[in-house]
């Protein structure tokens, strides 16, 4: 794990990646998210854990789920939230990210939620933060740790455990920060087998994930798995598009209900969103009984509450 993530007492100071975070710490975050969810769903007033604290969303890439759920999470726990408008900010006048951070920190911001196309930008800011916590909301293809946590929570809820589960991740793994955080989280919690499937040009580099099995054939990759995570083609990160057209891609790597029947009877269907229906996933599967996609979205709010509370030490 990046040393930047922990303070001198071993407490979580920033959340940059799930890599080497450890099963115990990950499990504790999931437990806290589940407890906050139980309170919320029981109709209890949420504890004002973040009252008087300020959370700033710094999104340099588009987002629907992550930005909104961080905002809801922070507001429901009583924080003041600022959605920093990059387009109208002084970053367009050449101000560095570090100076932007220092400027906003001087206004007593307690936490920054950062999404950026460049790998390592949240870590770069964490290295410069004087007091505030940095939360990685997705950097390049490096990490999306809160997405990894909400995926783990969803899987644990539905299957009762992560330990021993067989999980297939299919699609554009090469460009996916979600895949990387899922792999690190699943491995930390003892998943039995992690299978990665996609066109050769979209699989990770040789040796990047020695703990995973690589597949080209999606039917084989689905045999007897407990869950499948589908990923969209991240065309915005590709130098050239795969040889397959959309119909050809769906034929080989799309999740149809017929194909899903190769997995275990109650295999969970997951997708971090945004989905491209008819390309990587059929609409009837996305909306079907085995789909946990909207549960993932709902869990995102509680996971982000738990992470904010943990980092702000309340």
Separation of alpha carbons 192 and 124, rounded Å: 34
Residue 252 annotated to the active site: no
CB nearer to ligand CP: give 146 or 290.
146
Interface segment toward ligand CP; rule CB under 6 A; list 30-38, 60-68, 208-216, 306-314: 60-68
Helix axes 293-311, 145-159, angle to 10 degrees: 120
- Is 256 a residue that touches ligand CP (CB under 6 A)? no
**Shortest Cβ distance from residue 222 to ligand CP (Å)?**
22
**Shortest Cβ distance from residue 57 to ligand CP (Å)?**
11
Site string for ligand CP, 132-161 (x = CB under 6 A): ------x--------x--------------
- Is 199 a residue that touches ligand CP (CB under 6 A)? no
Q: What is the DSSP letter of 205?
A: P
**Shortest Cβ distance from residue 219 to ligand CP (Å)?**
26
What 3-state DSSP class applies to 269? strand
Asked if 146 and 19 count as a contact pair (C-beta separation under 8 A), the reply is: no
- Is 63 a residue that touches ligand CP (CB under 6 A)? yes
- Exposed / middle / buried, residue 72 (Cβ in 10 Å: 0-12, 13-18, 19+): middle
Q: Which of residues 267-296 bind ligand CP (CB under 6 A)?
A: 272-274
Q: Which of residues 166-195 bind ligand CP (CB under 6 A)?
A: none
Separation of alpha carbons 186 and 84, rounded Å: 33
- Is 75 a residue that touches ligand CP (CB under 6 A)? no
Residue 115 annotated to the active site: yes
Separation of alpha carbons 79 and 197, rounded Å: 41
Residue 65 annotated to the active site: yes
- Is 64 a residue that touches ligand CP (CB under 6 A)? yes
Give the total of residues touching ligand CP (CB under 6 A): 9
Backbone angles phi, psi at 135, to 5 degrees: -115, 120
- Exposed / middle / buried, residue 97 (Cβ in 10 Å: 0-12, 13-18, 19+): middle
Give the chain's largest Cα–Cα span: 56
For 38, the enclosing helix (H) or strand (E) is helix 23-41
- Is 261 a residue that touches ligand CP (CB under 6 A)? no
**Shortest Cβ distance from residue 90 to ligand CP (Å)?**
25
Catalytic residues: 65-66, 93, 115, 144
Applying CB under 6 A, which residues contact ligand CP? 63-66, 138, 147, 272-274
């Amino acid at each position: 794990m990046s040393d930047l993530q922990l303070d001198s007492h071993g407490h979580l100071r920033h959340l940059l990646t799930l890599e080497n975070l450890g099963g115990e710490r990950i499990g504790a975050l999931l437990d806290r998210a589940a407890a906050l969810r139980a309170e919320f769903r029981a109709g209890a007033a949420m504890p004002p854990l973040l009252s008087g604290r300020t959370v700033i969303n710094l999104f340099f890439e588009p987002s629907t789920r992550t930005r909104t759920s961080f905002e809801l999470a922070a507001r429901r726990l009583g924080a003041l939230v600022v959605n920093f408008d990059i387009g109208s900010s002084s970053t367009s006048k050449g101000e560095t990210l570090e100076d932007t951070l220092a400027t906003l920190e001087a206004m007593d911001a307690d936490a920054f939620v950062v999404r950026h196309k460049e790998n390592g930008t949240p870590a770069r800011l964490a290295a410069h933060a004087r007091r505030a916590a940095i939360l990685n909301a997705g950097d390049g293809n490096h990490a999306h740790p809160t997405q990894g946590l909400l995926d783990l929570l969803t899987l644990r809820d539905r299957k009762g455990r992560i330990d021993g589960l067989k999980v297939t991740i299919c699609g554009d793994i090469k460009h996916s920060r979600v895949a990387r955080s899922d792999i690190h989280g699943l491995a930390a919690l003892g998943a039995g087998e992690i299978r990665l499937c996609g066109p050769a040009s979209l699989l990770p580099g040789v040796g990047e994930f020695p703990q995973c099995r690589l597949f080209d054939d999606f039917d084989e990759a689905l045999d007897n798995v407990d869950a499948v995570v589908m990923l969209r083609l991240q065309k915005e990160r590709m130098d050239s598009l795969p040889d397959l057209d959309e119909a050809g891609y769906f034929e080989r790597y799309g999740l149809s209900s017929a194909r899903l029947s190769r997995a275990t009877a109650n295999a969970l269907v997951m997708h971090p969103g945004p989905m491209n229906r008819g390309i990587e996933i059929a609409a009837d599967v996305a909306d079907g009984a085995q789909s946990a996609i909207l549960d993932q979205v709902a869990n995102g709010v509680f996971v982000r509450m738990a992470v904010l509370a943990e980092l702000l030490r309340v």
